[in-house]
Amino acid sequence: MTDFTVDVAGLAGFRLDLQDVGTNSSSNATRLLSALTLPVGSSGLIATVGQSLEKFKSAYSAVQRSDLTTIETLGADLSTAATSYRATDDTNATAMNAIGGSGTSSSLGAEHGVSRFTGLQQPNLPDVQEVSFTVRQMVTSAIELISVYDDRMNEAVGIKPAADVLAPLVADWEALQAVGRRIALLGINDYVTSENLIGGTRWLQSKWSGDASQTFGTSANSLGQSVAGRSLDLEAVSKIVENGGACLERLVYNQAAGLTDGILQPMTVLGATFPLGGWAPYAGKTVSAAAQADIRAAVEALKKGMESRQTAIRTVVDRVVQALDYTPGRTVPTFQANDFEIPDKVVVDLGDRKFGFGDNIWWSDNIASAV
């Protein structure tokens, strides 16, 4: 015979514990996943993040369902073992007494009942509150102010700032921070599940030894370690998404504010003061060489800043998308805080901008309401 000890009450109790582990883990995950979305109507550049987020949810849901199935199987194994031990309890005890209680023994205990793992954790993880959305309206207001100059800017630099640059940025970029926090909670949920599995198995094996116990322990600990590893993965993903969202919020703001300020920058040429966006096509025409040089320099500075900010925006979006490209076993990108440093707000002129000829004011603009 093979030496073993077993507390049937522990087997029965931990089977119930596993049911609670699965129920709690599933409840938290289901609630968090259902909230893991971008606001309705998210389009443009942020839609690429939305597509990756849906893939992330699908991949995570699949692996979590697989884990729950494994937990159910572990519970069924304990139920089968407990039933088997109960059925042979009296027979084994009689057999041991018949040989005088010596030699290889099986200790089953006189009473069965149910013994539960007291270290079980079953948190009801909180939801994440959305922050107020302001970037969408700010970008929309900027488009309204500068779209009239799109054709002139296109003639000068081959880009329509409102249509080509700002329109794809109209979105609630702040929502990404809440998405990141919810992914962090999914990671915490996995961590709790892994601790319950590993800690509970350690407790059970203090009451149950032998080949069957070792087989169960190998399976349960393997699952616990896998879930713990995923918890670490999700921690990295959550940091990238949350910090990426905060960075994008500022970058998009800066793009809209910078373009609005630059295109509506007053320039005086031959006594006429108009926005740079109005003068832009004249960088190589009709006006004096000095005026052409001034217009050209201002347009080039505007274009350079716009392209730099756009590159930064796309770089951060790509990092967020890559982080959300999650599948079990894939190496998750490492979170590097300096990749998501939030730039200072661009400095803009919030005063009245007066345009006209000479001392005659034809109209004025003020971008304070937009930025």
Res 65: pLDDT: 96
Lowest mean pLDDT among 78-82, 284-288, 361-365: 284-288
Contact, 298 vs 261, CB < 8 A? no
What is the per-residue pLDDT for 100? Answer: 53
Q: What is the pLDDT at residue 102?
A: 45
Domain membership of residue 120 (yes or no) is: no
Q: What is the pLDDT of residues 51-109, one digit of tens each?
A: 999 999 999 999 999 999 999 999 999 999 888 877 765 565 555 555 555 444 444 44
In 3-state terms, what secondary structure has residue 280? helix
Average pLDDT, the chain: 90
Q: What is the pLDDT at residue 2? A: 57
Three-state DSSP class for residue 290? helix
pLDDT band, very low/low/confident/very high, at 176 (cuts 50, 70, 90): very high
- pLDDT (average), residues 294-304: 93
Residues of the domain holding 180: 4-99+130-365
The pLDDT, as a whole number, for residue 99 is 54
Residue 204 placed within a domain: yes
Residue 354 lies in a domain: yes
Residue 346 pLDDT greater than 90, yes or no: yes
| Structural domain includes residue 28 | yes
Distance CA 297, CA 150 (A): 18
Judge whether 143 lies within some domain.
yes
Neighbour-count burial of 177, counting CB atoms closer than 10 A to its CB (0-12 exposed, 13-18 middle, 19+ buried): buried
Share of the chain above pLDDT 70, in %: 91
The letter for the amino acid at 38 is L
Residue 351: predicted pLDDT: 85
Residue 207 CA to residue 258 CA, distance in Å, equals 68
Q: How many folded domains does the chain comprise?
A: 1
Does the pLDDT value for residue 332 go beyond 90? no
Each residue of 30-48: pLDDT tens digit?
A: 999 999 999 998 999 999 9
User: Are the C-beta atoms of residues 204 and 117 closer than 8 Å to each other?
Assistant: yes
Q: What are phi and psi of 353, to 5 degrees?
A: -110, 115
pLDDT band at 289 (very low <50, low <70, confident <90, very high): confident
Output the pLDDT for position 326: 85
Indicate the burial class of 49 (C-beta count within 10 angstroms; 0-12, 13-18, 19 or more).
buried
Separation of alpha carbons 339 and 341, rounded Å:
6
Q: Which residue has the higher pLDDT, 52 or 6?
A: 52
Q: Which long-range contacts (CB under 8 A, 24 or more apart) does 224-227 make?
A: 224/193, 224/194, 224/195, 224/197, 224/198, 225/194, 225/198, 226/67, 226/328, 227/67, 227/190, 227/191, 227/193, 227/194, 227/197
Exposed/middle/buried for residue 5 (C-beta within 10 Å: 0-12, 13-18, 19+) = middle
Q: Answer positive or negative: Cα dihedral of 240, 241, 245, 248.
A: positive
Segment 319-336 mean pLDDT: 90
Q: Give the long-range contacts of residues 335-344, CB within 8 A, separation 24 or more.
A: 335/236, 335/239, 335/240, 335/243, 337/243, 340/240, 340/243, 340/244, 340/246, 340/247, 340/316, 341/247, 342/246, 342/247, 342/250, 343/247, 343/250, 343/251, 343/254, 343/312
With a cut of 80, say whether residue 342 has pLDDT above it: yes
* Least confident piece of the model among 142-146, 171-175, 287-291: 287-291
Q: Average the pLDDT over 271-295 and give the result.
A: 83
The tens digit of pLDDT for each residue in 223-276 reads 999 999 999 999 999 999 999 999 999 999 999 999 999 999 999 988 999 999
Average pLDDT over residues 111-116: 79
- Is residue 109 in some structural domain? no
Residue 293 has a pLDDT of 87
